[in-house]
Amino acid sequence: MDLLGHLRHFRAVAEERHFGRAAERLRIAQPSLSQRIQRLERELGVTLFDRGPRGVALTPAGRLLLDEAEEVLESSARLLAVAADLRTGRAGTLRAAVPPDLGPAALAALLTGFESSSPGTRLDLRELPVAAAVRELAQHTVDVAVVRHPCPAAGLAFGPVLHQPLGVLLAADGPQADRPELAVAELTGRRLVLFPRATAPALYDEMLNTLARHGCTPEAVVDPPGPDVAGALVLTGSAVALVPRTVAPPGTVWRPLTGIPLTWRTSTAWPAGRDGPAVRLFAEAAHRALTEPGGLVPQLPNRPLFPRPAMEFPL
Amino acid sequence: MTSERTKGDRARRDHPGEDAPAPREPAGTRAARARIAAAFAEAGVTGLLHARDLDTGAELALGADTPVSTASVHKLCLLVTLYREAAAGRIDLTRPVDLPATGRTPGRTGLSAMLDAARLSLRDLAYLALAVSDNAAADVLWDEIGLDTVNRTMAELGLTRTIAVHTVRELFAALAEDTGQDSPVDPAVVARLRVLDPAFTNRSTAREMTALLAALWHGDACPGEPGAALRRLLGLQVWPHRLASGFPFDDVRVHGKTGTLPTLRHEVGVVEYPDGGRYALAVFTRAAATSITLPTADAAIGTAARLAVDALRLTSR
């Protein structure tokens, strides 16, 4: 029996919940699709579908086997992709992703660093938001990525975490612009510009929580609709922005925050168990590039952790 | 493996999952599922959920057949087994157990946090294990009952994907071994923890947990007085931050058991409305953030549960 073909048909019927629609999608006749599903059920010795007048529903056994079938089909697709890479000579390509806002200096150092440590490998580098990078890592369409935390960890392994310190961007003619550095608490009562919460809710909440921890109660937190509006709000002095060190746009100044209270945590990530030599070389190059020209700092001194009773596990 | 699964599936035959247009899943739940998924995303977690109307059998499922690391939720399986043994006359719940001051499984509540030797009955140990998730009390019971008896009991109830492979102290040993000297909130450390992987540790699914609660509420799991006693204990859990937070209503009763490990926050329980509506809920979450204090993620469990209950109530009452 052509198992892969039968499984593909099984999946189509499960998705369409209807033999007619599935047959149409597969461009085969409905009776022959029905026969193939019956053949598969005989082969497996399990009823996959409850057939009703208005369509079909997976049996519980069918549902479990669908998970397995999808796994088989996915790994066979991966096998074909690897074979295609070998055939076309793309096997020596590393597919990598970096998040926006790493800064050109860090990125340039990463490219030259990887090139010199791994001259034979072609680097296919894309700029991807973290959510997209995590999805592509899971699908194995990206081999290694630089991600920002908090980042969903299921199925991933991470390199060492680096901290990208945040500072404050203010209007150059505003009240606090003449200070070499500012304490977070001094931003109490000001309007703050962050990023749209929906793009990274966990990081957004973590930043607000850290502001509160350091005595800052902003008058309001503005979710900017776009970078231009954010820039305009800062320029007019009606808000200040919390951003990594940057070349301040004209009319604004960037100031560090006293004691590095706020950072964006960054690390490399790859699918767990798939850290081949090219992935490791990329991860090392990324770590070096982010640390030196990138200005990221290694693990800050560990804060004390005081677990609460509801935590249920010991540290 | 295949035959085991098939056997379990027969027991669940009239509870099709979210992949099929389940006959017992009321129309309109698709919108509720979207709202629940949005509530999880909004809180920075990925979540799995199963909700079951205990009287009509109506269901709402979101990834309800995906295996999860159950953490302390597995104490519910332990206690159902203990009370089932009592219902069968094989165990006397009033039997006292001597508890030396040393060698206790660590934790921040109950006997785990207490300093002196004590003597408690099996049912009072059960109270501590449920009400405050006392790890030391739970391990005394795990040692009394044994993993095999608990797993056999779950299989008898048709829950073949609900499996315990270690006691609390063994789970903590694996956690400590993987963490080593590193920070327990370092994402790279959390990513390598085996106790988050259902293939390694105690596991179940959201659907099987509500099936277990249904069996307890219907008197199938622990018939008679022991069943009532165990339902009472589930109503004595002290934590207000997860399932209960979604039902801040004086006239609604919440029973539950939580489970927590780095990035994992779970609760399963039963919510009872004064009009007689009773709903079993299982909510399992995994947060992107590694912080140990994360009230938004805790509250998302309550929010998701109430959205599910509202959807079931809208269609069935």
Q: What is the DSSP string of A204-241?
A: HHHHHHHHHHTT---SEEE--SSHHHHHHHHHTTS-EE
- Interstrand relation of A144-149 and A93-98 (parallel, antiparallel or unpaired): parallel
pLDDT of A244 over the 80 cut: yes
For chains A and B, CB pairs below 8 A equal: 133
Q: Name the least confident of A149-158, A239-248, B10-19.
A: B10-19
Q: Where in chain A is the domain with CATH 3.40.190.10?
A: 94-161+266-291, 162-263
- Our CA angle for A242, A246, A252, nearest 5°, is 75
Chain A neighbors of B183, CB-CB under 8 A: 299, 302
CATH topology of domain A162-263: D-Maltodextrin-Binding Protein; domain 2 (3.40.190)
**Quick one: pLDDT at residue A55?**
79
Structure tokens at B210: 């509500």
**Quick one: pLDDT at residue B9?**
37
Model confidence pLDDT, tens digit, residues A127-144 = 988 888 988 898 888 999
The total number of residues shown for chain A amounts to 315
Measure the N-to-C terminal CA separation of chain A; round to a whole number of Å: 53
Q: Where in chain A is the domain with CATH 1.10.10.10?
A: 3-87
**For chain A, percent of residues with pLDDT exceeding 70:** 96
Residue ranges of domains in chain B:
2-316
Model confidence pLDDT, tens digit, residues A41-88 = 999 998 999 888 777 888 888 888 888 888 888 788 777 766 766 665
Q: Which of A17, A59, A63 sits opposite B21 (nearest CB)?
A: A17
- Whether the CA torsion A283, A287, A289, A295 is positive or negative: it is positive
Q: Name the least confident of A14-18, A35-39, A288-292, B95-99.
A: A14-18
CATH topology of domain A94-161+266-291: D-Maltodextrin-Binding Protein; domain 2 (3.40.190)
**Quick one: pLDDT at residue B6?**
36
Q: State mean pLDDT over A94-107.
A: 87
Quick check: A238 contacting B, CB < 8 Å? no
**Quick one: pLDDT at residue A292?**
82
Q: State mean pLDDT over A182-200.
A: 90
Query: Hey, are the CB atoms on B288 and A149 less than 8 Å from each other?
Result: yes
Q: What is the DSSP string of B248-272?
A: --TT-EEEEEEEEETTEEEEEEEEE
Query: Hey, are the CB atoms on A310 and B188 less than 8 Å from each other?
Result: no
Please state, rounded to an integer, the average pLDDT across all residues of chain A: 88
Burial, B297: exposed, middle or buried (Cβ in 10 Å; 0-12, 13-18, 19+)? buried
Residues in chain B with pLDDT < 50? 1-23
Quick check: A123 contacting B, CB < 8 Å? no
- Interstrand relation of A191-193 and A240-244 (parallel, antiparallel or unpaired): parallel
**Could you tell me the CATH superfamily of domain B2-316?**
DD-peptidase/beta-lactamase superfamily (3.40.710.10)
Among B204, B230, B212, B209, which residue's Cα sits nearest to residue B85? B230
CATH topology of domain A3-87: Arc Repressor Mutant, subunit A (1.10.10)
Q: How far apart are CA B261 and CA B154, in angstroms?
A: 23
Q: Which of B260, B286, B287 sits opposite A313 (nearest CB)?
A: B260
**Quick one: pLDDT at residue B14?**
38
Chain A neighbors of B20, CB-CB under 8 A: 17, 57-58, 63
Among B314, B277, B272, B240, which residue's Cα sits nearest to residue B26? B314
Which residue is closest to A11 within chain B, CA to CA?
Answer: B19
DSSP assigned state of B63: S
Structure tokens at B251: 């006239």
